[in-house]
């Protein structure tokens, strides 16, 4: 796993020792950042269920001003911090350990891009969307990217957010809402 483009291009990121954390593949990450190319520079990003920090670090590398990384796993928090330090991305990074509900209730301000990559099949996406809406966390013109299994079909509207794109990459689907 590596940073694909930007300031940290080519940096190898630490990966989990087992399969308890499922990092987004380079293929899916490259496609995602192609879709988001216009929105990244100067943005404020929330990378929820961060895992290794792979997506948020890529956003920082490509010019995001700030990324808030959130995860409930101790190993993930360790990996995220190691990967941020390895890339020298500390200035734009905020790491918030804890359950996604707690994080969404305690995070401040709005985000231009919200990346959601929860464990597959756990039913966590809708509660995330609900809290994002209730707390007004998505900025005007912002996007929510939901990464999920291709078998999980997401509605055209979710908690008041409208699906604007859907792309399939092998077993993974990206649903983009605004």
pLDDT of 178 above 70: yes
Q: What is the pLDDT of residue 24?
A: 84
Q: Binning pLDDT at 50, 70 and 90, where does residue 19 land?
A: low
- Describe the crossing of helices 74-87 and 54-61 by its angle, rounded to 10 degrees: 20
pLDDT of 26 above 90: no
Token output for 15: 């990966």
pLDDT of 15 above 90: no
Picking from 48, 143, 57, the residue whose alpha carbon sits closest to that of residue 92 is 57
- Check if the beta carbon of residue 24 is closer than 8 Å to that of residue 55: yes
What's the pLDDT tens digit per position in 48-103? 999 999 999 999 999 999 999 999 999 999 999 999 999 999 999 999 999 999 99
pLDDT of 18 above 90: no
- As a whole number, mean pLDDT of residues 14-40 equals 85
What's the pLDDT tens digit per position in 107-126? 999 999 999 999 988 999 99
Mean pLDDT of the chain: 94
Token output for 14: 């630490």
> What is the assigned CATH class of domain 26-177?
alpha beta
Q: Binning pLDDT at 50, 70 and 90, where does residue 31 land?
A: very high
What's the pLDDT tens digit per position in 134-177? 999 999 999 999 999 999 989 999 999 999 999 999 999 999 99
Q: What is the pLDDT of residue 153?
A: 87
Element (DSSP H or E) covering residue 104: helix 100-106
List, in order, residues 6 or more apart from 126 with CB less than 8 Å away: 158, 159
Would you give the distance in Å from CA 77 to the centre of its chain? 14
Model pTM?
0.95
Q: What is the pLDDT of residue 17?
A: 73
Termini Cα distance of the chain = 29
Side by side, the strands of the sheet bearing 161-169 are 93-97, 66-71, 44-48, 111-116, 138-149, 172-177, 161-169, 157-158
């Amino acid at each position: 796993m590596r940073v694909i483009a930007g300031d940290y291009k080519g940096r190898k990121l630490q990966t989990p020792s087992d399969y308890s954390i499922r990092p987004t593949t380079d293929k899916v990450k490259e496609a995602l950042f192609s879709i988001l190319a216009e929105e990244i520079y100067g943005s404020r990003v929330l990378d929820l269920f961060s895992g290794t920090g792979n997506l948020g670090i890529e956003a920082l590398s490509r010019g995001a001003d700030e990324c808030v990384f959130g995860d409930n796993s101790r190993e993930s928090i360790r990996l995220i911090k190691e990967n941020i330090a390895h890339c020298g991305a500390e200035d734009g990074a905020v790491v918030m350990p804890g359950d996604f509900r707690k994080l969404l209730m305690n995070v401040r301000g709005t985000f231009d891009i919200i990346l959601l990559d929860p464990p597959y099949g756990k039913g966590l996406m809708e509660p995330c969307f609900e809290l994002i809406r209730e707390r007004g966390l998505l900025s005007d013109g912002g996007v929510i990217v939901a990464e999920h299994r291709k078998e999980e079909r997401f509605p055209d509207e979710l908690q008041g957010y409208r699906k604007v794109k859907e792309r399939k990459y092998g077993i993974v689907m990206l649903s983009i809402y605004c």
